[in-house]
Amino acid sequence: MKQNNREIYVLIGGLFILMLVGFYFTLNKLSTLSRDFQNFESQTRLQNQINNFPAATTTPSEADQSAPTADATSEVVIPTSIIFNASSSPVLTPQTNLTVTVENVAKAQDGTITVNVKIFSSEAGSYSAIDAKGLFELVDLNGSNQNPLSATDSFNSIPPQNAVTGSLTFKTDPRNTTVILQIGGGDQIRFYQFDFVKQNYKEMILG
């Protein structure tokens, strides 16, 4: 009989402990739900306050200060399909026929015009050179044309049956949106207008 009573007491005690544990977890869950609801309510009120807050205004001076500064080296690049033939320089003999392709013409924010070219020496039997500066001019309709300010050294030594790339540079007023280039030599001189706003080019007839 005493043994049975002990088992009953143990069973009742176990059930009581289980009830306490269950009550604890239930209370903890209710507390978590209450905190979540309060957080949601707080976020909703905050969002409503933000939506009703008047938009910030910017004065002209502030707008100027916050505007990004243009990179002086950023370029507008116009690809071309201009191709012509030219004789190599007499500096290296024998002279040979070279093919010049204008790959693109670029204008930087500071007014620098860069003409990127590729020269092929498919008919050459030895090293050759070319006076690239004599094949390009920046046309000034109101004055004298401008010769290239610089040219790549690669034009001074072109391997036979090969190709080299290089560039020539000019300087123009940064405000100019179009330029005219004289390209070629002898009876192959052509004039091309480059529009850096529309980013295209076209052949022109001058004279």
> Per-domain residue ranges for the chain?
2-64, 75-204
Say what the pLDDT of residue 8 is: 72
Task: List the one residue out of 79, 95, 78, 77 whose CA is nearest residue 87.
Answer: 95
Low-confidence spans in the chain with pLDDT less than 50: 36, 39-40, 42-72
- Residue type at 144 in one-letter notation: S
Say what the pLDDT of residue 75 is: 87
Q: Is the pTM of this model over 0.75?
A: no
For residues 188 and 22, what is the distance between their CA atoms, to the nearest angstrom? Answer: 98
Task: List the one residue out of 181, 183, 152 whose CA is nearest residue 86.
Answer: 183
Say what the pLDDT of residue 5 is: 63
Q: Where does 43-185 show beta strands of DSSP type E? A: 75-87, 97-108, 112-120, 136-138, 150-151, 163-171, 178-183
For 75-204, the fitting CATH number among 3.30.70, 1.20.120, 2.60.40, 1.20.58 is 2.60.40
User: Which tens digits make up the pLDDT trace of 82-117?
Assistant: 999 999 999 999 999 999 999 999 999 999 999 999
Q: Which residues contact 193 (CB under 8 A, 6 or more apart)?
A: 178, 179, 180, 201, 202, 204
Say what the pLDDT of residue 4 is: 59
